[in-house]
């Protein structure tokens, strides 16, 4: 469902969020939760933050709620286990590094909580399957937080393709690359080796962090719209260049869908940029079809404009700005995925039609295959699919810290 829904249908359904981790994206997501849904013309759902947890300390949770100008009533926890035990929490937002997603999401599901988990859902496909099995067995909602799928822009593009407006889509090329080169141009990037973007202990690397977005465009245009019985996992051919930390720095993934004679090309890098001049001169995404193509402007994760180009001429430019709540002077676009979670919870749906479990799994399989082909090997303790409530990934003991 897009924005602009539910006007005049009575009291909005309010969802009570528990926030797991207090880093950068948790801050952005929570600021979106705190915006007034009416500022995006949403009338049927609302959000409230009832608890925040930090694995570092209660003080960090307190600073977080202050920083985001969040509700003083929110409970503050110094452990993820305390958060998932809170009876007032309807859904847990997991905002930890990739390495932690499986254990943290399991912690929440095992405690009977619904989960929205940041992308990439897990480090391995087996972990993703285990999360889905657990959610299904416990009758809980689970969704990978691929927020772009819930943008009105994405919905419009999926509708355009489904309506046949550009004919049959045969190829999608999508890129999300950040030029993070150091000024010395010595092949090193601005991230320290310990940073989650390049640190293998945190399942860093271009593909899991950025490449998941070009793959989202490949899948939402070439896979998602196919009839259920015709969906086929792609044949995956990948090339990977590894950074000095062993994580991938530049990765290209070819996805071939033989049944539909279509092909996706997803590229990602931390050494070159999709839009180096910052003027959206080249499209980040090209959805190429028999009667024309759709071009989507950078960045692939937060696009606000696309062009429909018909074979033989004719260009329509479609702007899809992200609404701001004037009272908070804020609007990032993550609220649409939160609205989707709220509607699923309200309606008793355990998975989203726009980001279904099976699709998160097939994308994880695709990324796993690409990383395998490129020789990227992550440490055992973050690739295991054996859940351990006492794993340091759940208790927050940092690498090298004394065992508790
Ligand atoms: N949707 C989007 O646009 C974006 C999504 N992301 C995704 O969000 C997730 C988090 O990224 P981001 O917020 O940038 O990361 P940050 O490093 O800023 O925050 C991660 C948080 O996780 C917690 N954490 C627990 N254990 C560790 C550990 N060993 N090392 C580091 N942090 C730990 C910490 O919170 P605490 O101390 O409170 O427990 C920390 O603040 C990733 O999955 C990333 O892919 C990131 C950016 C944008
Ligand atoms: O999900 C993301 O989107 C925005 C990027 O800046 C960030 O690195 C990535 O995690």
pLDDT in tens, 23-44: 999 999 999 999 999 999 999 9
- In angstroms, the first-to-last Cα distance of the chain is 46
The answer to whether 78 and 396 have CB atoms below 8 angstroms apart is: no
**pLDDT confidence of residue 304:** 97
What CATH homologous superfamily does 152-319 map to?
A: Dihydrodipicolinate Reductase; domain 2 (3.30.360.10)
What distance in angstroms lies between residue 119's CA and the mean position of ligand 2's atoms? 9
What distance in angstroms lies between residue 97's CA and the mean position of ligand 1's atoms? 4
Query: Does residue 275 line the site of ligand 2, with CB under 6 A?
Result: no
CATH 3.30.360.10, the chain: domain bounds: 152-319
Query: Does residue 147 line the site of ligand 2, with CB under 6 A?
Result: no
Please identify which residue in the block is written with the tokens 């440490």.
379
CATH 3.40.50.720, the chain: domain bounds: 13-147+384-395
- Ligand 1 contacts (CB < 6 A) are 21-26, 54-56, 60, 95-98, 100, 118-119, 145, 147, 196, 202, 209, 301, 396, 398
Q: Tell me which architecture the domain covering 13-147+384-395 has in CATH.
A: 3-Layer(aba) Sandwich (3.40)
What distance in angstroms lies between residue 63's CA and the mean position of ligand 1's atoms? 16
Chain center to CA of 94:
11
Mutate to test the pocket of ligand 2, among 25, 189, 207 (most ligand atoms within 8 A of CB): 25
Query: Does residue 180 line the site of ligand 2, with CB under 6 A?
Result: no
Q: Which residues contact 288 (CB under 8 A, 6 or more apart)?
A: 169, 170, 171, 172, 173
3-state secondary structure the chain: CCCCCCCCCCCCEEEEEEEECCCHHHHHHHHHHCCCHHHHCCCCEEEEEEEEECCCCHHHHHHHHHHCCCCCCCEEECCHHHHHCCCCCCEEEECCCHHHHHHHHHHHHHCCCEEEEECCCCCCHHHHHHHHHHHHHCCCCEEEECHHHHCHHHHHHHHHHHCCCCCCEEEEEEEEECCCECCCCCCCECCCCCCCCCCHHHCCCHHHHHHHHHHHHHHHHHCCCCCHHHCCCCEEEEEEEECCCCCEEEEEEEEEEHHHCEEEEEEEECCCCCCCCCCCCCCCEEEEECCEEEEECCCCCCCCEEEEEECCCCEEEEECCCCCECCCCECCCCHHHHHHHHHHHHHCCCCCCCCCHHHHHHHHHHHHHHHHHCCCCCCHHHHCCCCCCCCHHHHCCCCCCCCC
Please identify which residue in the block is written with the tokens 């004719």.
314
pTM: 0.97
Omega before residue 175 within 30° of 0, cis: no
Rounded to the nearest 10 degrees, the angle between the axes of helix 335-347 and helix 24-33 is 70
pLDDT single digits (tens) 116-160: 999 999 999 999 999 999 999 999 999 999 999 999 999 999 999
**Strand pairing partners for 287?**
172, 294
What distance in angstroms lies between residue 350's CA and the mean position of ligand 1's atoms? 25
**pLDDT confidence of residue 398:** 56
What distance in angstroms lies between residue 50's CA and the mean position of ligand 2's atoms? 26
Residues of the chain with pLDDT under 70: 1-9, 397-404
Pairing between β-strand 169-177 and β-strand 262-269 as defined by DSSP bridges: parallel
**Strand pairing partners for 240?**
251
Atom of ligand 2 nearest to the CA of 118: 1
């Amino acid at each position: 469902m897009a924005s602009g829904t539910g006007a005049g249908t009575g009291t909005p359904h309010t969802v009570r969020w528990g926030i797991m981790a207090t880093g950068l994206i948790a801050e952005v997501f929570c600021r979106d939760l705190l915006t007034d849904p009416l500022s995006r013309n949403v009338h049927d759902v609302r959000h409230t933050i009832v608890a925040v947890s930090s694995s570092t300390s209660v003080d960090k949770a307190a600073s977080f709620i202050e920083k985001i100008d969040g509700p003083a009533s929110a409970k503050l926890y110094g452990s993820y286990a305390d958060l998932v035990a809170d009876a007032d929490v309807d859904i847990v937002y997991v905002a930890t590094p990739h390495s932690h997603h499986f254990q943290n999401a399991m912690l929440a599901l095992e405690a009977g909580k619904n989960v929205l988990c940041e992308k990439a859902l897990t480090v391995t496909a087996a972990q993703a399957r285990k999360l889905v099995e657990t959610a299904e067995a416990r009758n809980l909602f689970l969704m990978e937080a691929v927020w772009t799928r819930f943008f009105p822009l994405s919905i419009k593009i999926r509708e355009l393709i489904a309506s046949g407006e550009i004919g049959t889509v045969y190829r999608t090329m999508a890129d999300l690359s950040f030029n993070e080169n150091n000024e010395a141009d010595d092949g090193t990037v601005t991230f320290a080796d310990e940073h989650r973007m390049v640190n293998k202990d945190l399942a860093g690397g271009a593909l899991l962090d950025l490449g998941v977005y070009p793959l989202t465009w490949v899948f939402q245009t070439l896979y998602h719209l196919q009839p259920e019985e015709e969906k086929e996992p792609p044949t995956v051919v990948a090339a990977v260049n590894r950074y000095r930390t062993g994580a991938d720095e530049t990765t290209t993934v070819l996805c071939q869908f033989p049944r539909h004679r279509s092909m996706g090309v997803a590229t990602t890098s931390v050494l070159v940029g999709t839009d180096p001049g910052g003027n959206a001169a080249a499209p980040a995404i090209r959805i190429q079809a028999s009667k024309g193509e759709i071009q989507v402007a950078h960045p692939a994760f937060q696009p606000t404009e696309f062009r429909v180009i018909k074979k033989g001429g004719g260009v329509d430019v479609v702007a899809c700005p992200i609404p701001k709540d004037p009272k908070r002077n804020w609007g990032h676009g993550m609220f649409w995925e939160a609205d989707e979670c709220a509607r699923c919870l309200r309606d008793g749906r355990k998975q989203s039609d726009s980001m279904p479990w099976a699709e998160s799994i097939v994308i994880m399989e695709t990324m796993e295959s690409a990383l395998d082909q490129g020789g990227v090997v992550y440490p055992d303790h973050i690739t295991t699919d054996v859940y351990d409530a006492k794993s340091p990934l759940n208790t927050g003991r940092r690498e090298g810290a004394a065992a508790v």
